[in-house]
Amino acid sequence: MLSDYKESEKLPGELSTSLFLLAKEIKAIPVHTPGAPVKEDVQAIYYLCDSIIRWIKGEISTDQIMAVYSLTHDHSVQASSWLKDSTLKGRLMAEMGAILRAINRIEVIRETDFATIVYLLAYAASGILCAGLTLIKSDSTSYYNNGFFLFCLSWILIFILHLISDLDNPFGFSDDSSAEDVDLAILETTQARLKEICFDEP
């Protein structure tokens, strides 16, 4: 679980790198082939970045992001058709492949739950412990002490269980109770840079 969380922290940066390089390389195609019309092709990269951010935040479905990716891939192929024997062709497809791998990895991490039996045992143990402490006989002098101890222990157990559940999905932006999510600042910064690259006239 923790290894997945650490890997998840790297994925926004990897996506940002691939998207930015892809946009720069497609925009450079007219240098190799003067007059090549790549305006729509390079703008497709911006829309893909925007869609990835919205998908990670839970605003669009996986089917929708895959449809946008497929359209962007078609634009990349169309743009690469203006190149003859340049190695840039291979780099364009390599970056598209890296983006798809990152999208698939995010989907796997988001949809795969930490071992269900571990959750079951943790909740069961917490419930039994709290119930046992509640049923312990006590005299009137220790009633408030036991109540305070039970409250503190229950709060700590609930907090730990929530933290484990939260760390299990580092892309839980659609869940209002989720706090431990990966930082998307690099993707949002890349989106702003792509807007300048993709919509400014050469």
Q: Are residues 6 and 69 in the same domain?
A: yes
Which pLDDT belongs to residue 88?
A: 77
The total number of structural domains that make up the chain: 2
Alpha-carbon span 1 to 115, nearest angstrom: 9
Contact of 67 with 52, CB cutoff 8 Å: no
**Are residue 90 and residue 72 in the same domain, yes or no?**
yes
Query: What's the chain's length in residues?
Result: 202
- Distance between CA atoms of residues 143 and 166, nearest Å: 34
**189 shares a domain with 127:** no
Answer yes or no: do 98 and 178 share one domain: yes
Q: Are residues 104 and 7 in the same domain?
A: yes
pLDDT in tens, 168-196: 665 555 555 554 567 788 999 999 999 98
Instruction: Tell me: pLDDT of 50 over 70.
Output: yes
Poorest-pLDDT segment among 26-30, 88-92, 180-184? 180-184
Q: Which residue has the tokens 């169309």?
A: 78
Write the single-letter amino acid at 141: T
Helices (H), 28-183: 29-32, 39-56, 62-80, 88-111, 116-135, 143-168
Query: Which pLDDT does position 202 carry in this prediction?
Result: 47
Residues 34 and 134 in one domain: no
Q: Please tell me whether residues 81 and 148 are part of one structural domain.
A: no
The HSE-up count of residue 65 (CA atoms within 13 Å, CB side) is 21
Reduced to 3 states (helix: H, G, I; strand: E, B; else coil), residue 182 is coil
Q: What's the whole-number mean pLDDT along residues 54-74?
A: 93
Mean confidence (pLDDT) of the chain: 78
Positive or negative, the CA dihedral 186, 48, 76, 199 is: negative
DSSP state of 141: G
Joined tokens for residue 79: 């743009």
Q: Which of 73, 47, 44 is nearest to 60 (CA)?
A: 47
Q: What is the pLDDT of residue 9?
A: 77
**Is residue 35 domain-shared with residue 81, that is, in the same domain?**
yes
Pairwise CA distance, residues 6 & 155, whole Å = 27
What domain range includes position 93? 2-112+174-199
Higher pLDDT, 89 or 104: 104
Rounded Cα distance, 202 and 42, in Å: 12
| pLDDT tops 80 at residue 23 | yes
Q: Is residue 6 located within the same domain as residue 89? A: yes
Mark whether 70 and 13 lie in a shared domain. yes
Least trusted range by pLDDT, from 8-22, 61-75, 120-134: 120-134
Cβ 89 vs Cβ 80: under 8 Å: yes
- Whether 96 and 25 share a structural domain: yes
pLDDT bucket at 156, cuts 50 / 70 / 90: confident
Contact 99/18 with Cβ under 8 angstroms? yes
- What share of the chain in percent tops pLDDT 70? 64
